[in-house]
Amino acid sequence: MEEDFKVIDNYLMVKMPEEIDHHKSSYISENADRFIVRENVSNVVFDFEDTRFMDSSGIGIIMGRYKKISCFGGKVFAINADHRIRRLLMISGLHKIVEIMD
Amino acid sequence: MNNEMKMEFDAISANESFARVAVAAFVSELDPTLEEISDIKTAVSEAVTNAIIHGYDGIENGKVKLYCGLDKDVIHIRISDEGRGIEDVEKAMEPLFTTKPELNRSGMGFPFMEAFMDDLEVISGPGEGTTVLMKKKIGCIPWIEDEE
């Protein structure tokens, strides 16, 4: 599952799983944090291409990573988010801190 | 009720996906849209996750009870645990309020249940467990068309 985390320049790319819930969330958070520290990256990109389900655990993952990197000027991006995931980001207010890209 | 379903499962995180998929399969006889299925799955996932990580926090062998009933075109869902209960339900339901920030919880569980279901009621008290009651009407034509 290491291949779900890739570092390109100053960006950590996280390939999100098909289902994002509490059961999966600690694995994603812990690995992302490990890469952020080890590779010293400032930005994180969450790729939702494969994601068909997400609950508030996904919001928690993004919020937690944002808190870690934003104090060093890092940014969080969301790519390939379908309209359901966009809706979750909007309702939770995360669209204000996450750059949603097509 | 035209059709009812009850089940009980261990309060472990592997059962979160099982619970939401079971409810989605049960409601399928009402012919819901993909959007409605997705809303229900998210709401069920939130309530079951709460029971597991908050209700049974530090308590072993907890069980989560799930009831679904179809009343014409309305699905009634009841998710209950016999865990710690909630001291201040109103506070717990505030957006972004969480007692577990260290676990990367967002505090959006109850707000999502509220946003995706038509009706939400939470019955709880310290040491009394928690019961979440939710209702959703299936087949409502939305007033505003989705952008996609």
Tell me what pLDDT residue A13 has. Answer: 97
Tell me what pLDDT residue B101 has. Answer: 84
| pLDDT tens digits, B112-144 | 999 999 999 999 999 999 999 999 999 876 655
- Domain locations along chain A: 2-101
Tell me what pLDDT residue A14 has. Answer: 97
The alpha-carbon gap from B99 to the nearest alpha carbon of chain A, in Å, equals 13
Tell me what pLDDT residue B102 has. Answer: 83
Predicted confidence (pLDDT) at residue B18 exceeds the cutoff of 80: yes
The alpha-carbon gap from B69 to the nearest alpha carbon of chain A, in Å, equals 23
ipTM of the complex: 0.91
DSSP E strands in chain B: the ranges are 3-10, 63-71, 74-81, 119-124, 130-137
Would you identify the CATH topology of the domain A2-101? Transcription Regulator spoIIAA (3.30.750)
Nearest by CB to residue A55, choosing from B46, B103, B146, is: B46
The C-alpha atoms of residue B83 and residue B86 are separated, in whole angstroms, by: 9
The angle at the Cα of A28, spanning B11 to A54, to the nearest 5 degrees, equals 65
Question: Looking at the complex, does the CB of residue B111 fall below 8 Å from at least one CB of chain A?
Answer: yes
Query: By the 8 A CB rule, do A45 and A77 touch?
Result: yes
The C-alpha atoms of residue A32 and residue B17 are separated, in whole angstroms, by: 23
Per-chain mean pLDDT for chain A: 94
Tell me what pLDDT residue B146 has. Answer: 55
Tell me what pLDDT residue B144 has. Answer: 55
- Domain locations along chain B: 3-137
Express the helix, strand and coil content of chain A in percent, nearest 5 each: 45, 25, 25
Which residues of chain B does A25 touch, with a Cβ-Cβ cutoff of 8 Å?
104
Task: Name the residue with tokens 């690995």.
Answer: A31
Q: Does domain B3-137 sit in CATH 1.10.510.10?
A: no
**Catalytic residue chosen out of the listed positions B16, B20, B36, B46:** B46
